[in-house]
Amino acid sequence: MSSKGREEYLKFLNSVEWKEQRAEALDRSSGFCEYCGEVAINVHHVEYPKKYNENNPHNLVSVCKKCHELSHGIRNMEKIIDAKIMTDLAPNGISMKYLLTEGRIYASAKSWIHALQVPGTLKTWFETGLARTAMLKEKQFDTKLEMEFRNTPVYRWHVVAELLRSFDRQWYKDQYRTKSRLEQKNIKTFHENYERIVSWGYDLQERALNSLINPTLDNSAPLTPEDLHQAVKQVVSPRFKDNEKKINEHDIIISEIKNVVPVLRDMEEFITVKQAINEQGLDSTSMPFYPNSKENLSGLVGQILKEKSIKQGEKITSRIDGQSITMEVNTYHRGEVYEVLESIAKAPKQTSLF
């Protein structure tokens, strides 16, 4: 970038337009890194536009510090010299070309995207995510996850599987509600095929392993014990661990969300008393001042807010616990309700509340 171009770029970073674009990108990902799931503190340009104020929303990705640094890093990839070009039918019936080398399969980002029929709105995320996932997970798998073949980066199935797991987590988190209805429909269709895609990918890798274990199927060199050990370690082991990883991932995600969500909550947002109590991990039916007061926590908070004439937002319709009856419920600024809950917690003559 020239000195003039850099000067224009720095000027743009201080503009209102960039701040709005940055806020939109962070809001779209709920403040989490779109590659590893950590808290995002930066917004990365997948590709720099000719004019900075003409950014496409999908060209901006929310990232944590580590992934942002990796995004701008220069990485020398090892080249695949000896590989067979193979074909296989993807879950959607499309013919896919991939590379087979030493019992491992690799394919370019475009090949994976085409074979899996990744929705258009997720293509940029998927393609750039492959490179970052390969860099982040390489030590974990103790093998090359990204290599180069004929001047094109190619990725192992393991990278694709990790990225698909990230997509699955995001789906169950918010079902991509920030996308348009058409985009949500396409993403939903893609997720409906998630399990089939993952099974197909591991089956494809296992068939590659089988070609290594049975060298008579081709003209490759005789299989040595070392080759077999490495092949099993690199190919079969990750699949055996897959179910265990899914369980651990859910536990980790829940823990991380509990730690970071309070920081990301908008204190000015209007919410119900019950929602605020749930966010604080409290029981709305508990009796803080019993027997001095017959009010449960929910009723007590509502009473204090009313006595203080706290500003109310629009009422919302809510279902009464355990009943089919619905009723209109008041809403207040989240910060105001939190303050009342804190004052109750510090008040004397209360039973154990927290």
Any domain includes 104: yes
Alpha-carbon distances of 329 from 20, 99, 139, 188, 301, rounded to whole Å = 33, 60, 52, 32, 13
**CATH code: domain of residue 40:** 3.40.1800
Any domain includes 176: yes
Domain count, the chain: 3
Identity at 217, one-letter amino acid code: L
279 and 235 co-located in one domain:
no
Domain end, chosen from 212, 238, 262, is at 262
89 and 225 co-located in one domain:
yes
Any domain includes 207: yes
User: Rounded distance, CA 212 to CA 104, Å?
Assistant: 9
Q: Is 99 helix (H, G, I), strand (E, B) or coil?
A: strand
54 and 95 co-located in one domain:
no
Residue count (the chain) = 354
Any domain includes 354: no
225 and 131 co-located in one domain:
yes
User: Rounded distance, CA 163 to CA 113, Å?
Assistant: 12
Q: What are phi and psi of 240, to 5 degrees?
A: -60, -30
290 and 205 co-located in one domain:
no
Domain end, chosen from 262, 280, 312, is at 262
Q: 348 has which bridge partners?
A: none
Q: Tens digit of pLDDT per residue, the chain (354 long)?
A: 455 656 666 676 677 777 777 777 777 777 788 777 777 778 876 665 555 555 555 667 888 877 776 665 445 568 888 888 888 888 888 889 899 887 788 999 999 999 999 999 898 888 878 877 887 777 676 678 888 888 888 999 989 998 999 899 888 888 888 888 899 999 999 999 998 999 898 888 888 777 666 655 444 444 455 555 555 555 555 554 555 555 556 555 555 555 555 556 788 888 888 888 887 878 777 777 766 677 888 888 988 998 888 889 888 876 554 444 567 888 999 999 999 988 888 877 544 443
Determine the structural domain holding residue 253 and report its residue range.
84-262
Are 314 and 270 spatial neighbours (Cβ–Cβ below 8 Å)? Answer: yes
CA-nearest of 264, 202, 221 to 39 is 264
174 and 249 co-located in one domain:
yes
Identity at 222, one-letter amino acid code: P
